[in-house]
Amino acid sequence: MQIPLVDLKRQYHSLKAEILSSISQTLDGMQLFLGKNVQAFEVDFARYCTTEYAIAVGSGTEALQLALLASDIGSGDEVLTVANTFIATAEAISLVGARPVFVDIDPNTYTIDTNQIEHKITPHARAIIPVHLYGHPANMGPILAIAGIYRLKVIEDACQAHGAEFQGHRTGSLGDAGCFSFYFTKNLGAYGEAGMIVTSNPDIAKKCRMLRDHGSSLKYHHQYIGINGRIDEIQAAILRVKLPHLEDWNQQRRSIAQAYNAGLPPQYIKPKEAPWAKHVYHLYVIRTTERDRLKAFLESKGIASAAHYPIPIHLQEAYRSHKNADTFLPITEKVTGEVLSLPMYPELSTEEVGYICDCIREFADSNLKVAGKI
């Protein structure tokens, strides 16, 4: 049996006729950016996130960058975030001229440790970017409370958390702005690059709309120095077709996660869902000190797996100069050496999940035999 980490073809074939029809209509109209598909998708996604506004952009990285710029974050400012995430989170901070300040993570949710945030706040701190990692929301209650005390902006990195919830509230709707990626492997994925900023702040929304289009709201009149951050109509057309299916897909992911939880042996640390959270399992991530051996064993059985993210940002060469004496992240460094993502997509079958669990149990049992414990 061959099981990829993500199988995009299964989902595509289930929607192929509708997607091709939508693309064809877009090409027939030849309004290829910021047209009716973009406008309609923005309305639909804002409604989905329960925010007043949504601004479609070219990628999740651009969403983070523009949300920071629209929040007046720039040179000399500090933004608190985590190092256990894709580099784009910190990259966006650096691209606006600010400095990322890394906070360690909670070992259960792998999101920012709210007990350590205040220790990292200096007079230069201007914002917090909590990352809703793997589909599990960060603990937004304490984050919002701390931000209120210190007058910090909160920009949610929800790039892996489409439809996740904190205390019944959708991710992206809790802070000053929320940022999403529609990279093709995400719970809601385009067939290329795309992103979205959601907010209920009219000033942030207005500025983001201008910044994504070279700082302009009227052609050839530029109020700000912006970027070309426009999403194209074809990606918006595809995402409009897929959005109505997102809740069902998320529920299927949750069901698959439950099957993994029941079928995997107890030797491995499985994902935990906090009582205040709704996890949407963009990734299903286990932990083991034998990560690399298990990964190789699964590969020999035809099962793909991956380590997200094996080198935390503060240890990356690009951020060597950002590492201070107080950049001590022991939980982050431990976790990133142990995490392993198993196949996860809504179309994964019961038989495939069972086979994956059987193979992992086989690996665990062989280790116990070598150790003389069975």
How many domains does the chain divide into? 2
Q: Are residues 174 and 252 in the same domain?
A: no
| 289 and 234 within one domain | no
On whether residue 2 sits in a domain, the answer given is no
Question: In 79-110, which positions are buried (b, 16+ CB within 10 angstroms) versus exposed (e)?
Answer: bbbbbbbbbbbbbbbbbbebbbbbbbbbeebb
Task: Give the pLDDT score at 321.
Answer: 76
Q: Are residues 273 and 328 in the same domain?
A: yes
Q: How many helices (H) and strands (E) does the chain have?
A: 11, 14
Among 213, 244, 275, identify where a domain stops: 244
Per-residue model confidence (pLDDT) at position 76: 95
Q: What CA–CA distance (Å, rounded) separates 319 from 332?
A: 15
In this structure, what CATH number is given to the domain that contains residue 12?
3.40.640.10
Beta sheet of 78-82, edge-to-edge order = 53-57, 195-199, 177-181, 153-157, 125-128, 78-82, 99-103
**Average pLDDT, whole number, for the chain?**
95
CA distance 132 to 283: 12
Instruction: Give CA torsion, residues 65, 66, 68, 71, to 10 deg.
Output: 170
Quick: pLDDT tens for 63-120: 999 999 999 999 999 999 999 999 999 999 999 999 999 999 999 999 999 999 999 9
User: Do 31 and 141 sit in the same domain of this protein?
Assistant: yes
Spatial distance between the Cα atoms of 241 and 217, rounded to a whole number of angstroms? 28
Residue found by looking up tokens 């909590």 in the block: 130
**pLDDT at residue 131 in the model:** 98
Is residue 1 in a domain? no
- Taking the chain (374 residues) in runs of 10, the rounded mean pLDDT of each run is 96 97 93 89 98 98 98 97 98 97 97 97 98 98 98 98 98 98 98 97 98 93 94 96 98 98 96 98 98 98 97 93 74 98 98 98 80 58
User: Do 140 and 280 lie in a common domain?
Assistant: no
Token readout for 64 is: 């983070």
Domain-terminating residue out of 244, 279, 294: 244
Reference 264, options 286, 231, 290, 239; nearest CA is 286
Q: Note whether 229 and 346 are same-domain residues.
A: no
Residue 300: inside a domain: yes
273: Cβ contacts below 8 Å, ≥ 6 apart: 136, 279
Decide if 33 contacts 228 (C-beta within 8 A).
Answer: no
Residue 182 lies in a domain: yes
162 shares its domain with 255:
no
Residue 322 sits in a domain whose CATH number is 3.90.1150.10
In a domain, 3, yes or no: no
pTM: 0.95
Asked, for residue 177, whether it belongs to a domain, the answer is yes
SS3 328: coil
Are 251 and 201 found together in one domain?
Answer: no
Residues 181 and 275 both lie in one domain: no
230 in the same domain as 164: yes
pLDDT of amino acid 374: 57
The answer to whether residues 65 and 186 belong to one domain is yes
Are the beta carbons of 77 and 92 closer than 8 angstroms?
no
Domain that holds residue 256: 246-370
Domain boundary among 214, 244, 274: 244
Q: Give pLDDT, residue 372.
A: 57
Asked whether residue 231 falls in the same domain as residue 253, the answer is no
State phi, psi for 307 to the nearest 5 degrees. -105, 115
Looking at residue 320, its pLDDT comes to: 82
